[in-house]
Structure 1
Amino acid sequence: MDVREADRAQSVQVGVIFLFGFLIVGLSLYQVTVVPEQNQQVEFNAYQQAAEDLTDVRNDVLTAAGRDTTIGTTVKTGVEYPSRAIFVNPGPPPNRLATTGERNVTLENVEAVDSEAENTRTFLESNVSGRSYATRDVVFTPNYDRFTGQPMVVTGHQSYRVAGDRPIPMTGQTVLQEDRIRLIRIDGDLEAGGSSVGVTTEPVSPATRTVVVQGKNDEDITLRFEPPSGISASGWNETTGQELRTANPQRVERVVEAPDGSHVEVILNGSMTYRLQLATVEVRDRETQRASEDPVARYLITIQPSTQTVRTGETTEIVVEVRDRFNNPVSGETVTVDGSPRGALDSTSERTDGDGTVRFEYTAPENTGADSVDLSINDGSESYERVAIGFDVVSQAAGAPGSEPPIVDITSPSEGESIEDDFDLNATITSIDQSGTPILAANWSRQSPVNTDPEPFDSISADGPDGCSYCVIDGTQPIDISGWTSGEHTLRVTGRDASGQVGNDTVTIDVAEPDLTFTDLRDSGDRLVFGIANEAGQEVTIEEVGVDATAIDTEIYVDHDNNDREVQITGTSVQDGHIDTRGEKTFSADGTLYDLENGGNNGQYATLGPDDSDVEIDIRYFSQDLGSLEYTTDEANADVSVILRLSDGSEYTFHFRQSN
């Protein structure tokens, strides 16, 4: 063999070995540099998706706390690395989504106003003011291989990222908005991880009732919070505390930290009134069963005046409501008749319905005089577990003057009249051809949906004949409906004459929902712009907005990239509104309602003045072109619907369909 040929063969072998070595080195460098960088970006994207999902969980908490609706959201807790034929990915990250231990929220020095039922006032004083509510938080703890993410926390009043011991708000706070105090207690035992976790949020005691409160003796009200998981009192004060002070300067007097850092105190102006709402929801893994106990009966109120006048043999209805410790109605609780009234009842006990109410039929005895029906819950040992409905039983017989009570006639408003603004209640009371004696008292009260004690008319004029001018009187009472819920309200007017007899009349009116109407369609395609007008005759506030485009595609969402304001509400005379999800694609067009202030970043409610007739709703930009739309009132054939939810809970939906 030629020696030179052997040398050439050895050179080829050495070259192959060198090339193989370079390949191994290159692959190794790619594994330790490029693969980690790519995975870090994948982990960052997964973390951002988890943030969007937790914002949805926060919205679920708000919805379940106010609507008695169970909602589910899937939270992306893991990460999906790209498939690699040669290179190696790390194992699944041990990220965890869990509920924390309990912390306390306390409301101090608060009392219900005089217009609330007596038992409501008594219960709040002894069982709400100064008592603590134990609540939990939902915490996502990331532990990715490369990306270092901050823990994220969902509480009953806000959601945060946690930087050190300082919260970075992901949503606005809901504990105090204008005059509404809303305390949402979170319960549940959640501990899960993996690729994703199905989270169910279920109402335990939804805030379907509101109690108007103020400070005792007009002194300051204190809201005391133990800080959420991982957050210090000073950090909470510098962020959420500052937000509270800025948004409510007339109501929030100061926010202070305990010297030992154990809690913060929000001091509210107690001379002002507040609408108090309390709620409990359970947050749990979708695969587990509800663990929270059903709320139990705590106090009893009447849904009518505590004293009524009836004729002998007359049948009337007694309606009472049972409430839990959060002032919300409780179903399935037993209300018992105590003692033996002179009149007859159709039952000695009844169970509350889905609205927490029971009804008894009372038939007055044949003998005139006083009667009382006593009702109770539980063992009746507490005063707020009992109510007494008094009856003044008067004669049915007609005849000479002196035998009949005065005639009461409510002249306005009329039965069933729709009321949109403050109004005057007018009534005429006469004893002519009845007792023939002067009218000594004329009172009015609300009978439902809340019961108020009778109050004298503001203005009374005598209109009777000579010798008995007060045998006929006209009464006028200005009625302020601010704070009244929409729907039916029954008013009662009573008149008592000098013989001691009492007559009455009632009228049921319909307090109209604030009326928002469609005016014109201004743009459609990858955005939807239309006009509305406020014809309610009063200010209305839009708090939540939702879009449902699932008839076109179930995956459509609204995203304005990294710009703000996916939804803008402009042209108002009081306050324009918007929501900003900052390109996180959290605004799904699947009918989910998003809170303008708390569904994204730096949002703002929209308040329309009573004469606003050119308000614009601008929703941008849809992930898929909606095509050319036209307005329709036919919900069944709608392709896109926009839902506006007002501060009083009423909703308005505007429907659009694709034009041919």
Structure 2
Amino acid sequence: MGPTPADRGQSNVVGFILIFGFLLVSYSLFQAYVIPNQNAEIEYQHYQDVRDDMTDLYAEIITLSESSSDRQVLVPVDLGMYYPSRLLFLNPPPAAGSIRSSTQGAIQIGGANATEICGGSDTTGLIYSPSYRVTNQPDLRYENGLLYVEADNGANAMLEQRPILTGDTINLYRLSGTLRTQSGTDTLPLEITGPGTSDNSATGVSVTNVTLRSDLPAEEWNQSVLTGDQSELHAVTVDDDTVRIEGFSGNYDVRCHSVGLGQRP
């Protein structure tokens, strides 16, 4: 005797349950693994875009500081990001990022008055911190003519840098002002202002050392910054956010390249 209508109906139900179960498992696996992987790629691309923004900011800071211009420049930094909408699948909330200035510190020149040369001795840095939902990416930092990546494990990678010592000239890069923490997903225009003067230098100065406010450890200064033509110099730790550059001998021209955050330096 062949299958009855009841048997065929039961088979259809079993088949439907199996197909539904397969689809449910596939959906769960896609949501659990594929979506996060795709979001990780999107986060990585956004981080590369922010690196480009910070590199543009670095370039504007260096260009303005090495000029006598008093012009103001707005540099956009894309703080955060949105994940693309997906039919049927769930996405995390937008990922916000933040940027702020670091703690203030003072430039000190052994053998000269930094305030007289620079028009002020206070200096700071800038820190961009991402807060992604899937990946962990390191902070991006600017200070003292340096742009670098700082990872949680203490490792640092230099992205851009200007030399402290060029021949018989000492170059100091000063960033004055304060930027309170700005967080969000939007693009933030950062305003930097040039010095408006070319009288930020001194000649024939007998310099013994230079003390800088820095989050970059002395060891990293020695390994990544004070190399090549600057290898006669070495950095020592003064405290958690201060290093002293030693090894100078003789007379130098000292040039202070200053810009301000939303104000004249």
- For the superposition of Structure 1 and Structure 2, which TM-score range results when normalised by the shorter chain? 0.7 to 0.9
Contact 1:254 1:266 in 2 (8 A): yes
3-state SS of paired residue (2:121): strand
For 1:125-204, list aligned pairs within 5 A: 128=116, 133-163=121-151, 164-178=153-167, 179-203=169-193
Change (3 A) 1:41 1:137: same
Displacement of 1:256 in angstroms is 3.3
3-state SS of paired residue (2:134): coil
Q: Give the letter aligned to residue 37 of structure 2.
A: E
TM-score by length of 1: 0.36
Output one character per residue of 1:174-218: Cα deviation in whole Å (capped at 9) or x when no partner.
4433425233223232422323332333326345224332344xx
Picking from 91, 94, 101, the partner of 2:93 is: 91
Output one character per residue of 1:125-167: Cα deviation in whole Å (capped at 9) or x when no partner.
9x548x9822221111112111221111012411110133343
Percent of pairs identical after alignment? 20
3-state SS of paired residue (2:189): strand
For 1:284-433, list aligned pairs within 5 A: 290=262, 292=263
More strand by share: 1
> Matches of 1:207 and 1:166 in 2, distance apart?
38
Displacement of 1:80 in angstroms is 3.4
Q: Give the letter aligned to residue 132 of structure 2.
A: Y
Q: Which has the higher contact order (CA 8 A, sep 6+)?
A: 2
Contact 1:99 1:189 in 2 (8 A): yes
Ranges in structure 2 where 5+ consecutive residues have no aligned partner: none
Aligned partner of 2:83 in structure 1 is: 81
Change (3 A) 1:107 1:166: farther
Q: Give the letter aligned to residue 272 of structure 1.
A: N
> Matches of 1:154 and 1:147 in 2, distance apart?
22
Contact 1:64 1:206 in 2 (8 A): no
Rg comparison, structure with higher value: 1
Displacement of 1:278 in angstroms is 4.4
Output one character per residue of 1:348-369: Cα deviation in whole Å (capped at 9) or x when no partner.
xxxxxxxxxxxxxxxxxxxxxx
Contact 2:39 2:134 in 1 (8 A): yes
> Matches of 2:260 and 2:221 in 1, distance apart?
23
Ranges in structure 1 where 5+ consecutive residues have no aligned partner: 111-123, 283-289, 296-660
Change (3 A) 1:262 1:78: closer
Q: Give the letter aligned to residue 221 of structure 2.
A: W
Contact 2:144 2:174 in 1 (8 A): yes
Aligned partner of 1:58 in structure 2 is: 58
Contact 2:78 2:185 in 1 (8 A): yes
Output one character per residue of 1:76-132: Cα deviation in whole Å (capped at 9) or x when no partner.
22223232011111111232112222123211213xxxxxxxxxxxxx59x548x98
Change (3 A) 1:192 1:261: closer
Q: Give the letter aligned to residue 111 of structure 2.
A: N
> Matches of 1:135 and 1:148 in 2, distance apart?
29
Displacement of 1:223 in angstroms is 0.7
Contact 2:125 2:143 in 1 (8 A): yes
Change (3 A) 1:174 1:198: farther
More helix by share: 2
3-state SS of paired residue (1:256): strand
> Matches of 2:248 and 2:75 in 1, distance apart?
38
Number of residue pairs matched by the alignment? 259
3-state SS of paired residue (1:258): strand
Change (3 A) 1:278 1:53: closer
Contact 2:72 2:191 in 1 (8 A): yes
Contact 2:236 2:245 in 1 (8 A): no
> Matches of 1:72 and 1:137 in 2, distance apart?
17
Change (3 A) 1:62 1:206: farther
3-state SS of paired residue (1:11): helix
TM-score by length of 2: 0.85
Change (3 A) 1:68 1:175: farther
Mean Cα deviation higher: 181-190 or 101-110: 181-190
Change (3 A) 1:184 1:54: same
Mean Cα deviation higher: 40-49 or 56-65: 56-65
> Matches of 2:193 and 2:210 in 1, distance apart?
23
Aligned partner of 1:43 in structure 2 is: 43
Change (3 A) 1:275 1:137: closer
Output one character per residue of 1:459-506: Cα deviation in whole Å (capped at 9) or x when no partner.
xxxxxxxxxxxxxxxxxxxxxxxxxxxxxxxxxxxxxxxxxxxxxxxx
Picking from 250, 264, 274, the partner of 2:253 is: 274
Q: Give the letter aligned to residue 260 of structure 2.
A: V
Q: Give the letter aligned to residue 281 of structure 1.
A: G
- Does the alignment pair 1:32 with 2:32? yes
Aligned partner of 2:16 in structure 1 is: 16
